[in-house]
Chains A and B, each alone.
Chain A
């Protein structure tokens, strides 16, 4: 079994819960389909999004320099980090120099990737995630299971219990509206008490030097309009050339993510607000290495909408935590092996290669092709478990020889159901046909 399958085992063991999760996530995929149906030019928009990203990546260094120039002119400070460690040091340095001990954060998958919270907490800084879903998983001391809906794996009763313990809500309270109200009160105090606010970046505009942050709750806006310091952390791939291109991505993002035509708040930050300071931290952390690899380059187009997670039959039935990385699902499975191929060698196999991810991707990333490419590469690098390698070798040998295929088919129809097979742990094989397809076909074409 791969690591993914092992981690998924406990999730899969609870059958009712598995189907509940599957349905909850599929519900979001359906909302995406409805939203998409209101945009007749949707497919063209996807192509534009893909081409704009391809162009931007082909001139990325120029655009980064242009962005930096304009961001500095707008009054922001710009920092560069080669990797997660440097990113964490920069953020901690900014906070330490200003004596900040209370930080509010809005959603940033990059800081999850860099494990910023742990680093800051070790250094005595209180970090409060303010997106409701993120706050829930933070209070549970677990990572998000989904990049847009961090607590999608939890039931309202579990959140009610957590809030009772941590926020003092009445025992047994599980109404989402009342729980959200409790969190609103709790987090308002955190916003008002914060000394600095940190946000991710959805898009960075090269021609203007601004960053754009999208939220529904308004947490990024409260976190940046009250404290005197705003730190925005972004991967190098977040750039778009100008506001004209930004329009394309804003039309794609929320529709693909949650089925909304746009997020409630789409904030354009150009420099700090009067009397405050703004820092932009630009992070590589392996992205330039992905850019150098042509077959995987497209993965840098990702705008983190999570449509590929929502549609993925494996994600829906194994849960985000089974991936063991901050970005789960198909996109996570092609990004993670770049960071550590050995550790994440199981992820490209957590797919049926059905291609649904590629079909819904708003920027047309060839996700299932990349998953397949990774499988080949991992095998070539000797990072695939030995059983899988042996089985694949045998299968290749058999499939290349029609006589062997016929023989094995005959054999398997008899002994197949009795061979121990990890696939049959949660499901049954269909009853074996008495005759092969070839035999049945021959009967139909040349009736006796």
Chain B
């Protein structure tokens, strides 16, 4: 027998009687009186920065020092003046090793954990989101939800494809529990909430 058949047979033979699947939708999950405020606090707690965009996106970006200093900028949202890399023309993701700043759109933002759902990331060149030194995520305020249950009810996971929750900058605490921001990925993460 093949390993596949062996394993499945062994699992079937182990046979616990079927148990019911509980209904997750009946859980009364946490909700917040002020969604925007809780989202901003969560982003700060995971080491990010949350900015509510009042004017144009570019004006908000200009206030981020890492953006102001950036030379090589990838943007997958319109209205980023300094964007100078078109991911569609990059043949090898290794060429993105020196990206300074990357701006990604998010479909959903979750108040309980500051996570943003990223689906548009450059596909074959999504390495830009990880190689970049600094990251900004743009999420409309109408896309904010209270908790992860509401979030999954709203999103469509791409298949085939790739998507992720991104919550703050890359971090580690592997050396004596000291929190260090900027492990392998972005050293900073700014979430820009647009109206």
Contacts and interface: CB of A to CB of B under 8 A. Distances in A.
A interacts with B:
yes
B56 interface: no
Contacts of A292: 10, 13-15
Nearest to A54: B19
B157 A208 contact: yes
Interface in A62-87: 64-65, 70, 73-75, 80-82, 86
Interface stretch (B57-65, B67-75, B78-86, B147-155): B147-155
B165 to A, nearest CB: 4
A433 to B, nearest CB: 42
A331 B50 CA distance: 39
A267 to B, nearest CB: 4
Contacts, number: 261
B124 A48 contact: no
Contacts of A191: 184
Nearest to A275: B124
B148 A251 contact: yes
B170 A176 contact: no
Contacts of B33: none
16 contacts: A39-B112, A45-B27, A81-B3, A156-B176, A177-B180, A184-B182, A208-B159, A221-B129, A225-B129, A264-B185, A265-B167, A266-B115, A268-B162, A272-B160, A273-B124, A284-B11
A142 interface: no
Interface residues of B, number: 78
A24 B177 contact: yes
Given A58-B17, A261-B115, 10 more contacts: A52-B22, A86-B3, A221-B164, A243-B152, A248-B149, A264-B170, A269-B162, A270-B160, A284-B10, A289-B10
Interface string B1-39: 011101110111111111111101101111000000000
Contacts of A268: 157, 162-164
A27 interface: yes
A64 B11 contact: yes
A221 B185 CA distance: 9
B12 A273 contact: no
B118 to A, nearest CB: 10
A61 B12 contact: yes
B172 interface: yes
A177 B172 CA distance: 10
The 8 closest A-B pairs by CB, nearest first: A218-B185, A261-B113, A271-B160, A133-B174, A217-B183, A270-B159, A292-B14, A288-B10
Nearest to A20: B176
B183 A219 contact: yes
Given A217-B170, A222-B130, A243-B157, A291 B16 contact: yes
A250 interface: yes
B105 interface: no
A273 B159 contact: no
Contact of A266 (B46, B130, B161, B164): B164
